């Protein structure tokens, strides 16, 4: 996470992702699972066409019925985001603003049948743009925290960043339980919530702290540690990139304890604009129910972080 308010909701992002993502997204989406996207065009994947081994997270209760908002068709929602946080928001070489946050904002406007603009701004100006009425909503991987709620209102979380265990592909380790990891060397970036979680719930493991996530991943790749406990999103991008070289895999399921890993990322609006917050919550639930959210998730995270 980046320090200060607002806080980015995720761990370190893989260096060089914007260049790699440009190659992937412009290459006819050849390595990506999704056909429907702003950049690639076409229809969405039907449920039967989606890979059976990819878990699709859901953050909305399908049984909960939200009231459809009564927005004026002439409404324009002014979104702000960043442009330096791939794969969530970044700029391609030709200046095109893209990313998971950007595409999701467009999908929400399509669902609400209103026009929208989306502007990239410097990180420290994103929330002030909303509170200062220069923008209506910020979709920039903002962490939902009690401190942040004093300044803005949030939609329900539209993603959460789980922690995940990784091992080498040839490892014989099964489900990474506290018993299975007792006496095993488990790497983790020092000073993080991940280290605190390990020390709390995996006391029998031999915890090996590293000064950076990159050095911890390198240690896993070369076999000097038995497992790695890492940020799920950053780890998924690493596994899907050239740096990992197919060395490693996720092992076991996601860890999402909010006391350690937060309440997720939400879209921020002004505290007095509850109508817009409700409209965005409705649209988020609808794009999830219609499979659009799943398409975007698979587009930007072909190796799912859940």
Tokens of 109: 């406007």
What local confidence, expressed as pLDDT, does residue 71 receive? Answer: 84
Tokens of 107: 């999908």
76-81 β-sheet, strand order? 115-120, 76-81, 137-143, 265-269, 153-154
Residue range(s) of every CATH 3.40.190.10 domain in the chain: 17-160+263-300, 163-260
Rounded to an integer, what distance in angstroms lies between the CA atom of residue 248 and that of residue 268? 36
How many other β-carbons are positioned within 10 Å of the β-carbon of residue 281?
20
Whether 194 and 133 have beta carbons less than 8 Å apart is answered as no
Predicted TM-score (pTM) of the model is: 0.80
Q: Would you say domain 17-160+263-300 falls under CATH 3.40.190.10? A: yes
pLDDT along the chain (306 residues), means of 10: 47 38 30 29 38 67 76 91 96 97 98 97 97 98 97 97 97 95 98 98 98 98 98 94 96 95 97 96 96 94 86
What local confidence, expressed as pLDDT, does residue 61 receive? Answer: 73
Q: Is the dihedral of CA 66, 68, 71, 76 positive or negative?
A: positive
User: By three-state DSSP, how is residue 277 classified?
Assistant: helix
Radius of gyration for the alpha carbons in the chain, expressed in angstroms and rounded: 20
Whether 37 and 301 have beta carbons less than 8 Å apart is answered as no
How many other β-carbons are positioned within 10 Å of the β-carbon of residue 146?
7
Whether 103 and 38 have beta carbons less than 8 Å apart is answered as yes
The CATH homologous superfamily to which domain 163-260 belongs is: Periplasmic binding protein-like II (3.40.190.10)
What local confidence, expressed as pLDDT, does residue 19 receive? Answer: 32
Instruction: Please give the distance of CA 217 from its chain centroid, rounded to a whole number.
Output: 19
Tokens of 274: 């509850």
Rounded to an integer, what distance in angstroms lies between the CA atom of residue 86 and that of residue 71? 32
What local confidence, expressed as pLDDT, does residue 9 receive? Answer: 57
What local confidence, expressed as pLDDT, does residue 39 receive? Answer: 31
Report DSSP letters for 25-76, one per residue. HHTTTTT-S---STTT-SPPPPGGGS-TT------S-TTPPPPPP---TT-E
What local confidence, expressed as pLDDT, does residue 244 receive? Answer: 97
Q: Which of 254, 251, 243, 201 is nearest to 225 (CA)?
A: 251
Whether 46 and 87 have beta carbons less than 8 Å apart is answered as no
Q: What is the dihedral of CA 127, 128, 133, 139, to 10 degrees?
A: -20
Rounded to an integer, what distance in angstroms lies between the CA atom of residue 178 and that of residue 302? 29
What angle, rounded to 10 degrees, do the helices at 232-239 and 213-222 form? 50
What local confidence, expressed as pLDDT, does residue 6 receive? Answer: 52
Rounded to an integer, what distance in angstroms lies between the CA atom of residue 279 and that of residue 283? 6
């Amino acid at each position: 996470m980046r320090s200060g308010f607002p806080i980015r909701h995720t761990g370190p992002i893989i260096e060089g992702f914007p260049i790699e993502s440009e190659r992937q997204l412009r290459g006819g989406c050849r390595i990506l699972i999704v056909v429907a996207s702003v950049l690639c065009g076409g229809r969405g994947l039907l449920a039967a066409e989606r890979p059976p081994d990819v878990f699709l997270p859901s953050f909305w209760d399908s049984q909960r019925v939200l009231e459809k908002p009564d927005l004026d068709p002439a409404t324009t929602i002014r979104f702000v985001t960043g442009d330096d946080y791939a794969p969530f928001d970044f700029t391609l070489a030709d200046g095109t603003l893209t990313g998971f946050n950007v595409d999701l904002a467009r999908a929400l406007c399509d669902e609400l049948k209103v026009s929208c603009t989306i502007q990239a701004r410097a990180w420290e100006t994103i929330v002030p743009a909303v509170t200062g009425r220069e923008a209506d909503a910020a979709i920039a991987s903002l962490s939902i925290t009690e401190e942040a709620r004093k300044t803005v209102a949030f939609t329900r979380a539209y993603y959460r960043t789980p922690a995940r265990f990784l091992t080498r592909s040839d490892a014989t380790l099964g489900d990474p339980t506290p018993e299975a990891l007792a006496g095993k060397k488990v790497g983790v970036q020092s000073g993080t919530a991940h280290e605190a979680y390990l020390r709390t719930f995996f006391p029998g493991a031999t915890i090996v702290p590293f000064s950076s996530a990159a050095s911890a991943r390198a240690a896993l790749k070369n076999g000097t540690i038995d497992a790695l406990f890492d940020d799920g999103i950053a780890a998924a991008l690493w596994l899907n990139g050239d740096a990992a070289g197919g060395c490693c895999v996720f092992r076991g399921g996601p860890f999402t304890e909010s006391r350690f890993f937060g309440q997720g990322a939400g879209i921020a609006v002004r505290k007095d604009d509850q109508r817009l917050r409700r409209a965005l919550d409705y649209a988020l639930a609808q794009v999830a129910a219609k499979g659009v959210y799943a398409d975007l998730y698979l587009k930007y995270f072909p190796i799912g972080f859940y």
